[in-house]
Structure 1
């Protein structure tokens, strides 16, 4: 074990964020911390790094272990070039190299004991230099920079001239180069393209230390981590396995907990009905039984309903159906000065397709969407929308939102026909309630702005959705909700995304923007990975790509074993269905019998109680209590009634408990 968090608790004012959070990390283990936005993931990393103090609990780090941290937001300021800034991490190796070179010069002029001492020092320094991988440190720096998406011609750029995303990549590179025993990464993939993310995955998998990562990139988590620590409702739970394994276990646990909760609620309701019925018999023993059951009911430890963060209601519905030909792009080209993004782009999109545009950062993916949406003018080419096509646009920078407007006004001004109640209900569906609706756009988080943009998109009733990085700033739960909405959407979708899990779940076709042109893949992201070498080779070798290259096989050609396997499965299913039907029939018969027995018992109890009341009334009459034989007869009947009623009450309770 290299790190342990024990009973960490943290509050900000009256808001409790973490409560008794405990988990541990072993040497070389790769761990993900997951949870909805606001669950306390970044707070926990800052507590581990001692940037924040915990209210309770402690963080234990193995003696002598080093730790490095990449925060979400970097404020890196330096007059150094990119290369020189990276080399600051290797300053000890650079100094060591300089000392060795100087010693080599000095030894040329030394003799005797002095030379022997210098040789001893030289041997020691060379050994240290080799341990620190001194011969390869320059290629190591270059490899990390290239892996993170920097070209060699950019190495001389000043750090202060870089964008926020580029500075974050430099900070990540410096951290990886420093090789601490534990690396803490907060959303490391946010500013990386697909190639850089794949490189980082490989780097972390082979990393000799432990890694703790907070990320919403589920594909990345699947590749890298072997344990998931979930923060939910202030508490913590650990799951062995990658993200997909965690998601399956979590779903199974939640379903089991929900089943327990519903079963308990059903039992509580049943017991309350039994108690009410026992009281309705209005007999001393039945009332005592009712009171006994009430005490038992009070002692039950109530199970809380499992939390479900999937509360955001999101449903996309086109107002009208478009024609089959939705979009045609012909000979599209765009340059900025000497930088050519793309030339002669040609593609078509048909109704119902979900098309993802992917490619490296800076290749022009967002520019294509902006040209189609009329926000940027193309240098050449034609954009043609099909019949009855109505476009809805989602901008990753949320420039379609007015920062000075409130959430309520943003929707009301865009859709003036909506009444106040409707606007409030729509905002509530996207988790904005009460006074939240009067917050200004500029005062809310990126994730919240994303939800406002999605709300506007839903109201647009468009039949062609153009989405630019729709999953940015969304937590995993919100991403899953968006995935379901897109998969159920009857319209057409064209989007840019670097979220491979999202692409895998939603795309029916992928357009890869590479070398200033588009390569076409008819399938999801897994299919793209499988066919990429084949399609690129085909593209480089000839202008057309064969149907077999796109589909992987001839249409209609399936393995011979498939039909026989299907037939066997069908027989097994028929047998299972027959057995299940028979079991259901028997169970239903048992339920009917129990209900009939319960009804008969209640009717007999009712008749006996009526007779008992008649006897009580008769015993008060003079002609009865003065007639000894009649009095004995009624008393005996009364005793028999009591015995029988006692039996019936027990029988009724037994039958009622079986329900």
Structure 2
């Protein structure tokens, strides 16, 4: 049994988790959702005893907890085989690992490969092996699908459903949630809400709940106005004693019906729509690759690749991990940035190493405004305050304008002034990147896994923004729901 009573967590005076009460049922598959920074990962850390609550209790009886975090921290230069053998006491126990490797579709690993060179999806499987070897009765996984390809996600859906244990996952992958969970729990305004069913059920029930809250708030405002009018009227009563008693009675009613039972208007937390303007015409050549090939250390990533993209096309590049999707968009990105193309090039990740084809030709159109959203955000200075980092990257120095942009992406003035990049959750960092992008217009957008770490409400706004975007979109994404919503015109399978 996992039971919480009055569970509260406060960081620097901010209440993140406010008096949560819950019992996690046995053998259920539960998703935990909510806005970036609302406390989802914090709740997992409290349950896993990594952090201590400010107040309240968590009781864990007859349960063994497994916990897989969102970001992995393996020892530098550690080899895959070295790591796997470190998980067991005796070599003869390796059969347990082999069984898990087969179950996780990872039996073809190279034991002499450095873990740092694995894909994030492969790293996640290694962490799963570590936790599953402990034979947990309850497994808590933070954002499991972020670094899996579509085939991997579909496999993972089946694998999660096959586990005869309790699984609680933080996830913003709506298609994945539709296919895996029995319940969805949401942290909303520091409160815990619970919904039975998958994502579509949750969406419908949450809308009903919001409508109910809005109706209650409307009735509250109407009743408040009536009682305030009553108080004004009793002040007009002639006769001191009679007027005094009436005023006292009216104030009691206001205290009982309004002050003690005050209703708040429900305001959904989400960013504003982002508008990217463009004047590129549909016939203009954007990029053309002929007989393209790329090798790393003489190992082919892709060969004989042919691709042509023209103005206003919306191209989705998909395929298995390791097939070269990110490599391809990096090569396209490098070509746009070459001198002589007269492109207005906006690459936030200025420290990323340029990549070129090993063989073949690539041609890009000139006089284009190009934006590149890299999958990794290593270019950020994690020690900078948000206002300083925003100014250093965009060149915008006016603090009022910085506030204006950042507030559209759900950052308060206090966040902008006092928070540093290192204080942001992965989802908040992704929102910060979109804030940096929003001050520019683009004829071409190259987006490599743009929705990783984003909460559902933010994804929906980005979907709307990209659906209305009239320029050329080159997209790498494993989010099936997202791809369907933005209505791509072409697909390219690597």
Name the TM-score class by shorter chain: 0.7 to 0.9
Rounded Cα–Cα distance in structure 2 between residues aligned with 1:197 and 1:458: 30
Computed over aligned residues only, the root mean square deviation of the Cα atoms, in angstroms, reads 3.6
Does 2:327 align with 1:367?
yes
Note if contact 2:311-2:472 (Cα within 8 Å) is conserved in structure 1: yes
Q: Which has the higher helix share?
A: 1
C-alpha displacement at 1:84, in angstroms?
6.9
C-alpha displacement at 1:168, in angstroms?
3.6
Rounded Cα–Cα distance in structure 1 between residues aligned with 2:417 and 2:7: 35
Rounded Cα–Cα distance in structure 2 between residues aligned with 1:491 and 1:271: 55
Identify the residue that residue 459 of structure 1 maps to in structure 2: 439
Note if contact 1:466-1:495 (Cα within 8 Å) is conserved in structure 2: yes
Identify the residue that residue 322 of structure 1 maps to in structure 2: 281
Identify the residue that residue 416 of structure 2 maps to in structure 1: 437
Rounded Cα–Cα distance in structure 2 between residues aligned with 1:417 and 1:38: 26
Note if contact 1:329-1:345 (Cα within 8 Å) is conserved in structure 2: no
Rounded Cα–Cα distance in structure 1 between residues aligned with 2:87 and 2:398: 59
Aligned positions of 1:409-448 closer than 5 A: 409-412=388-391, 419-434=398-413, 436-438=415-417, 443-445=422-424, 446-448=426-428
Identify the residue that residue 318 of structure 2 maps to in structure 1: 358
Note if contact 1:71-1:186 (Cα within 8 Å) is conserved in structure 2: yes
Rounded Cα–Cα distance in structure 2 between residues aligned with 1:240 and 1:169: 29
Rounded Cα–Cα distance in structure 2 between residues aligned with 1:138 and 1:321: 54
C-alpha displacement at 1:505, in angstroms?
2.1
Note if contact 2:80-2:115 (Cα within 8 Å) is conserved in structure 1: no
Rounded Cα–Cα distance in structure 2 between residues aligned with 1:239 and 1:501: 21
SS at match of 1:459: coil
Identify the residue that residue 498 of structure 1 maps to in structure 2: 478
C-alpha displacement at 1:151, in angstroms?
6.0
Identify the residue that residue 156 of structure 1 maps to in structure 2: 111
Of 296, 304, 321 in structure 1, the residue corresponding to residue 253 of structure 2 is 296
Identify the residue that residue 265 of structure 2 maps to in structure 1: 305
Of 429, 436, 458 in structure 2, the residue corresponding to residue 449 of structure 1 is 429
Of 116, 119, 127 in structure 2, the residue corresponding to residue 171 of structure 1 is 127
C-alpha displacement at 1:38, in angstroms?
2.5
SS at match of 1:460: coil
Of 449, 458, 466 in structure 2, the residue corresponding to residue 478 of structure 1 is 458
Note if contact 1:169-1:191 (Cα within 8 Å) is conserved in structure 2: no
Note if contact 1:403-1:440 (Cα within 8 Å) is conserved in structure 2: no
Cα separation, partners in 2 of 1:23 and 1:444, compared to 1, 3 Å: closer
Identify the residue that residue 94 of structure 1 maps to in structure 2: 92
C-alpha displacement at 1:213, in angstroms?
1.4
SS at match of 1:474: coil
Alignment TM-score, normalising by the size of structure 1: 0.62
Cα separation, partners in 2 of 1:352 and 1:51, compared to 1, 3 Å: same
Identify the residue that residue 546 of structure 1 maps to in structure 2: none
C-alpha displacement at 1:293, in angstroms?
5.4
Note if contact 1:76-1:171 (Cα within 8 Å) is conserved in structure 2: no
Cα separation, partners in 2 of 1:93 and 1:218, compared to 1, 3 Å: farther
Note if contact 1:3-1:25 (Cα within 8 Å) is conserved in structure 2: yes
Note if contact 1:225-1:242 (Cα within 8 Å) is conserved in structure 2: yes
C-alpha displacement at 1:207, in angstroms?
0.9
Note if contact 2:278-2:470 (Cα within 8 Å) is conserved in structure 1: no
Identify the residue that residue 493 of structure 2 maps to in structure 1: 513
Rounded Cα–Cα distance in structure 2 between residues aligned with 1:494 and 1:79: 34
C-alpha displacement at 1:202, in angstroms?
0.8
Q: Which has the higher strand share?
A: 2
Identify the residue that residue 469 of structure 1 maps to in structure 2: 449
SS at match of 2:452: coil
SS at match of 1:43: helix
Rounded Cα–Cα distance in structure 2 between residues aligned with 1:417 and 1:234: 34
Task: List gaps (5 residues or longer) in structure 1.
Answer: 98-133, 515-659
Task: List gaps (5 residues or longer) in structure 2.
Answer: 335-353
Aligned positions of 1:188-587 closer than 5 A: 188-269=144-225, 272=228, 278=233, 291=247, 295-300=252-257, 301-310=261-270, 312-325=271-284, 327-331=286-290, 332-374=292-334, 375-379=354-358, 380-385=360-365, 389-398=368-377, 407-412=386-391, 419-434=398-413, 436-438=415-417, 443-445=422-424, 446-509=426-489, 511-514=491-494
Note if contact 1:356-1:511 (Cα within 8 Å) is conserved in structure 2: yes
Rounded Cα–Cα distance in structure 2 between residues aligned with 1:400 and 1:74: 19
SS at match of 2:272: coil
Q: Say which one has the larger Rg.
A: 1
Rounded Cα–Cα distance in structure 2 between residues aligned with 1:354 and 1:56: 50
Q: Deviations over 1:590-636 (max 9, x none)?
A: xxxxxxxxxxxxxxxxxxxxxxxxxxxxxxxxxxxxxxxxxxxxxxx
Alignment TM-score, normalising by the size of structure 2: 0.81
